[in-house]
């Protein structure tokens, strides 16, 4: 099992000043790094490429859309903004050698309507995503666009593994997959094993290993041993990445409702989580 770490452990928006994080992640024992890219227009692609070349880390990315580029918007201009953002992200992934683009890449994160998703929203998102996915097939055929089901307080659009698979099938391109996150799963799924099986090897493209309270993985309620056994059962071979956030962040903490610390630093959380997950993975035979 390849365990990775998200750049959110250290920084809210990855810029030039954060390049040091790449080597730090490898020094701490991680094998993959997830660049959280909500603002592709400011991402320091060339510097990241250079730094990654001096490590053996697997690079992956994740993103969140917003009210100005949501694919479910009734406003065509806003949907087109979203398509262009995804195309920028696809280009970045190709440049840095990443074969995974995960996250809330199908709707505006936190943009709730107070109602269940509509057929119009579904069609808007599916059609817009298909354009981005077809672009990826042409310019970066190794890339998987992985849609992350998140909890009901962060989106009304895709909450479960079953929703994610349905969405991937609706888009219809072979480069669509599901991004499972243990934090969201504990709120929306009835079984970790069944959620993994629902995706299966064909549709499970990416995994975040987060605790139920976003604290140190292995110290809470998430049944990681069961989860790892299920991942092994379907032959999942992608990275399992630790994601959490510092209470000092601004935009993220308002969205994620993080009001207290779970470790003295994000780095401490990641280090302890890595040790816990490695132990659990060995116990699970994963």
Would you please indicate which residues are annotated as catalytic (active-site) residues?
148, 243
Q: Tokens 């440049």 map to which residue?
A: 95
CA distance 10 to 111: 25
Contact between 221 and 263 under an 8 Å Cβ cutoff? The reply is: no
Going by C-alpha positions, the residue among 187, 208, 211 that lies closest to residue 262 is: 211
CA distance 122 to 51: 39
Other Cβ atoms less than 10 A from the Cβ of 190: the count is: 8
- For 3-114, where are the alpha helices, taking DSSP H only? 20-27, 45-52, 76-96
Contact between 101 and 143 under an 8 Å Cβ cutoff? The reply is: yes
CA distance 193 to 228: 9
What is the CA angle 138-99-281, rounded to 5? Answer: 155
What is the CA angle 271-145-180, rounded to 5? Answer: 45
């Amino acid at each position: 099992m390849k365990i990775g770490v998200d750049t959110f452990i250290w920084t809210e928006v990855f810029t030039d000043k954060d390049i040091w994080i790449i080597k730090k992640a490898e020094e701490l024992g991680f094998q993959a790094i997830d660049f959280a890219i909500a603002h592709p227009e400011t991402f320091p692609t060339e510097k990241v490429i250079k730094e990654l070349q001096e490590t053996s880390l697997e690079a992956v990315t994740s993103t969140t859309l917003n009210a100005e580029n949501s694919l479910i918007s009734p406003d065509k201009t806003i949907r087109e903004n979203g398509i262009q953002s995804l195309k920028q992200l696809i280009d970045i992934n190709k440049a840095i050698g990443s074969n995974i683009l995960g996250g809330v890449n199908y709707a505006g994160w936190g943009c709730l309507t107070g109602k269940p998703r509509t057929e119009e929203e579904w069609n808007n998102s599916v059609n817009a995503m298909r354009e981005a996915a077809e672009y990826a097939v042409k310019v970066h055929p190794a890339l998987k666009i992985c849609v992350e089901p998140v909890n009901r307080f962060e989106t009304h659009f895709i909450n479960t593994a079953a929703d994610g698979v349905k969405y991937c099938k609706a888009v219809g391109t072979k480069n669509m997959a599901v991004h499972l996150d243990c934090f969201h799963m504990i709120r929306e799924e009835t079984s970790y094993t069944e959620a993994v099986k629902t995706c299966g090897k064909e549709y499970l493209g990416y995994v975040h290993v987060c605790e139920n309270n976003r604290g140190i993985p292995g110290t809470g309620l998430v049944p990681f041993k069961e989860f790892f056994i299920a991942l092994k059962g379907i032959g999942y071979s992608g990275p399992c990445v630790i994601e959490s956030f510092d209470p000092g962040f601004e935009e993220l903490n308002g969205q994620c409702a993080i009001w207290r610390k779970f470790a003295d630093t994000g780095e401490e959380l990641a280090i302890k989580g890595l040790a816990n997950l490695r132990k659990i993975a060995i116990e699970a035979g994963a």
